[in-house]
Chains A and B, each alone.
Chain A
Amino acid sequence: MKHIRWAVIGVVLCLCPGHGLLAATQQAEQIPLTPLATVKHSIDQIVEVLRDPAFSAADQKQAQRDKIKEIAYPMFDFKEISRRAVGPKWQSFTIDEKTRFTDVFAKFLANTYVDRIQGEYQNEQVVYVNELVKAPLALVRTKLVRQSVSMPLDYRLRQTDGQWKIYDILVEDGVSLVKNYRVQFQSFLQKESPARLIETLLSKLNP
């Protein structure tokens, strides 16, 4: 019995420092960033890609787009975006339709907005105004300053598994893009099926 007890203590002692170390490194990796820091971290990277002279040649534009998408994709909670953009009718989607819709809508949003960011970037400055947190939701307010015109751009975030992700963007001090889509999707779904909506978005994706 004594042997076993010592063996157990030995094993525990051997594992403990390792455990402690493992826990410490995990913690260091997962120090939760504030919503503002999360948004800023990704936007900084995107701006860097936009300004990178390596991408300035015409044949590098696709590579630049892909790189921006790669950085931007994890910023967003596309499941939440889809749920809110569809609104009450989301309940009538099958699990498969929910997955397919989320996928195609994410691609649709990425294509539209990444093209726009890439096409129109003119050394805008991003001014981070403030952040408000009321877990699990938060609001990060920014201003996009181009020449002397400044455009308010606010991000709504939601915390899931310790990560802050964007689920809505507000332009002009509060016009919600998700709400704008909800109006469009709702009137579409009054006449058509979820499957038709997915098809229509797909056709917009590859015109």
Chain B
Amino acid sequence: MNHRYFSAVITIAAIYGLLAGCAAGRRNALEPAVPLLLKKPPVLLAANTNTNLIAQNEPGDDDFSLLEDDLAWDDSETEEIYAVADPLEKWNRAMFVFNDKLYFWMMKPAAQGYRFVVPPPARSGVKNFFFNASAPIRVVNNILQGKGHAAEAEVARFLYNATLGLLGFGNPAAKHPELNPPVEDLGQTLAKYGFIDGFFIMWPFLGPSTLRDSAGTFGDRFLNPFGYVEPVEASLAIGAYDVLNDLSFRIGDYESLKQAALDPYEAYRNGYIQLRQLKIKQ
């Protein structure tokens, strides 16, 4: 462990300390974590077969906004779909083909082999570990967006999973909806601050993004502990392993999207834009 990595860890620790201090100033220091942990998870009622469960949850604001989105829909000529400019379409389409080949020739066989060798619990553990380790990104962006409660929840989940979840390989916090706020990143923060998407970019290896989200991804790397691992090759390898592990759960999704589309590139681009719009709204 070298000097830069150490200082990053200390910075992160300082942020947590600060947050805990803020929480303590307002209420009992343990309050953000403890009462949340004692709340009951949603009741699952088993229906006639055990493949089907009904959770009786009261609908929240998010649910209603999803429903209301569509109440006003009509098919008049004025109807507009949120779209992002695509001046680089030629390059983007070429990169889409490149990533497509990369997926079918390298990533997919690798993920299939990996999935075959490594059992699901181990893969889930790795997924949890990487997610928990990237908590700094989510904490800082929640603070930058003024979402104090969500930032506290992120810290509480990090500590909970890092301890009871054995360094974050387990995810005991999943049982507590209050500890699972929407994921925030710098791209969303910039959007909250009024930055527009700019234009769409399809990066080789990294996939779809926009100008704003690319800036966000770059900035978030400074909050990712694995971004400080040296040499750079090791850092990139860790990142690639995270991607591979993630992919092992989603083999087949890309193929379906491609098969179900009239123009896969356009379907993919719109999918990305829709998803980002939703996350920014949350």
The dominant DSSP class at the A interface is helix
CB pair A47 B67 closer than 8 Å: no
The yes or no answer to B193 lying at the interface (CB within 8 A) is no
A165 on the B face (CB < 8 A):
no
Query: At the interface, yes or no: A179 with Cβ under 8 Å from chain B?
Result: yes
A171 to B28, CA, bound (A): 39
- Given A83-B75, A86-B75, A186-B81, 14 further pairs, Cβ under 8 A: A84-B73, A116-B256, A119-B252, A124-B51, A126-B51, A127-B53, A127-B54, A127-B55, A130-B57, A137-B67, A149-B249, A175-B275, A179-B81, A184-B267
If A126-B51, A130-B59, A170-B66 touch, does A112 touch B256 (CB 8 Å cutoff)? yes
Q: Is A134's CB within 8 Å of the partner chain B?
A: yes
Residues of B within 8 A of A (CB): 44, 47-59, 62-64, 66-71, 73, 75-77, 79, 81, 83, 120-121, 124, 171, 249, 252, 256, 259-263, 266-267, 270-271, 274-275, 278
Given the interface pairs A139-B63, A180-B271, the reply to whether A125 lies near B53 with Cβ below 8 Å is: yes
- Nearest B residue to A50, CB-CB: B51
Interface string of A119-156 (1 = CB under 8 A from B): 11001111111111010011101000011110000101
A-B pairs with lowest CB-CB distance, top 8 = A183-B270, A139-B67, A112-B260, A174-B278, A128-B54, A148-B124, A184-B262, A175-B274
The residues of B that contact A174 with a CB separation of less than 8 Å are 66, 69, 274, 278
Shortest beta-carbon distance from A173 to chain B in Å:
6
Most buried by B among A109, A127, A168: A127
Q: How far is the CB of A128 from chain B (nearest CB, A)?
A: 4
Residues of A within 8 A of B77 (CB): 88
- Interfacial chain A residues near B70, Cβ < 8 Å: 137, 156, 168
Closest residue of B by beta carbon distance from A86: B75
Give 17 CB contacts A-B under 8 Å.
A40-B52, A47-B52, A88-B79, A125-B50, A130-B59, A131-B59, A132-B67, A146-B249, A154-B66, A174-B69, A174-B274, A175-B274, A183-B83, A183-B267, A183-B270, A187-B263, A204-B262
Size of the A side of the interface (Cβ < 8 Å), in residues, is 62
Nearest opposing residue in chain B for A109, CB measure: B260
- Pairwise interchain contact A179-B67, C-beta atoms closer than 8 A: no
Do A44 and B48 touch (CB < 8 A)?
Answer: yes
Name the residue on A nearest B44 (C-beta): A127
Residues of chain A within 8 A (CB-CB) of B256 are 112, 116
